A and B are shown apart, each in its own frame.
Chain A
Amino acid sequence: QQQVKQSPQSLIVQKGGISIINCAYENTAFDYFPWYQQFPGKGPALLIAIRPDVSEKKEGRFTISFNKSAKQFSLHIMDSQPGDSATYFCAASKEAGYSTLTFGKGTMLLVSP
């Protein structure tokens, strides 16, 4: 049973464009939704995270949009750069910090120069 579904599996965006990655979850007990960025040969690094009491959170070029009623959240990367090329994972947990993370399958983003 996949509790966090992520799409698309891969994405190609031109430099300067907007990258959008979507996730949907099933477990209504989830209340912490982080996004991780992973480069080849490296571990996942936390990019940005959101709690369901807000509908949007922005940090620099990265924005999370959250729709609690639809049980969906998305990552938007504005002004995408070649250095953003990586695999992005959405995740969810029941409680920020202590609870285990349930990950989506990942989106491989390629930003073309």
Chain B
Amino acid sequence: NAGVMQNPRHLVRRRGQEARLRCSPMKGHSHVYWYRQLPEEGLKFMVYLQKENIIDESGMPKERFSAEFPKEGPSILRIQQVVRGDSAAYFCASLEGGASQPQHFGDGTRLSIL
């Protein structure tokens, strides 16, 4: 049973380019969370999605960041016009649904901005 799959594992972009991070949840999981981890920091919540719906985006920066979880395919976190401060590890977690179910994390995408 494959876990949460994130790709790419490492992504290098120049300032002003776009970054697309993909997350395939565990089989049967319909809830996806994105978190960002800066060096020496814990993970910070960005956005929570279910299939075709954004449930909570309170942690997402208002500009340049967007996320989707289409009916078919992986969840995508998109960062437009990247800046140096976007350099971080981005983690996706998935959840089957129902009370008392833990979030399962992928191994993250390390984004570096030149």
Is A43 close to B, CB under 8 A?
A: yes
Number of A-B contacts defined by CB within 8 Å: 65
Q: Contact between B104 and A103 (Cβ–Cβ < 8 Å)?
A: no
Q: A96 with B99: in contact, given A89-B43, A105-B41 (CB under 8 Å)?
A: yes
Q: Quick one: which of B41, B45, B99, B100 contacts A100, CB cutoff 8 A?
A: B45
Q: Is the CB of A45 within 8 A of B105?
A: yes
Q: What is the CA–CA distance of A100 and B56 in the complex, to the nearest angstrom?
A: 9
State the interface size on chain A (CB cutoff 8 A). 24
Q: Interface range on chain B: under 10, 10 to 19, 20 to 34, or 35 or more? A: 20 to 34
Neighbouring B residues of A36 by C-beta, 8 Å: 105
A46 CB contact (under 8 Å) in B91, B104, B107: B104
A interface, CB within 8 angstroms of B? 4, 6, 34, 36, 41-46, 49, 89, 91, 95-98, 100-106
Interface residues of B (CB under 8 A from A): 4, 6, 31, 33, 35, 40-45, 48, 56, 59, 91, 93, 95, 97-108
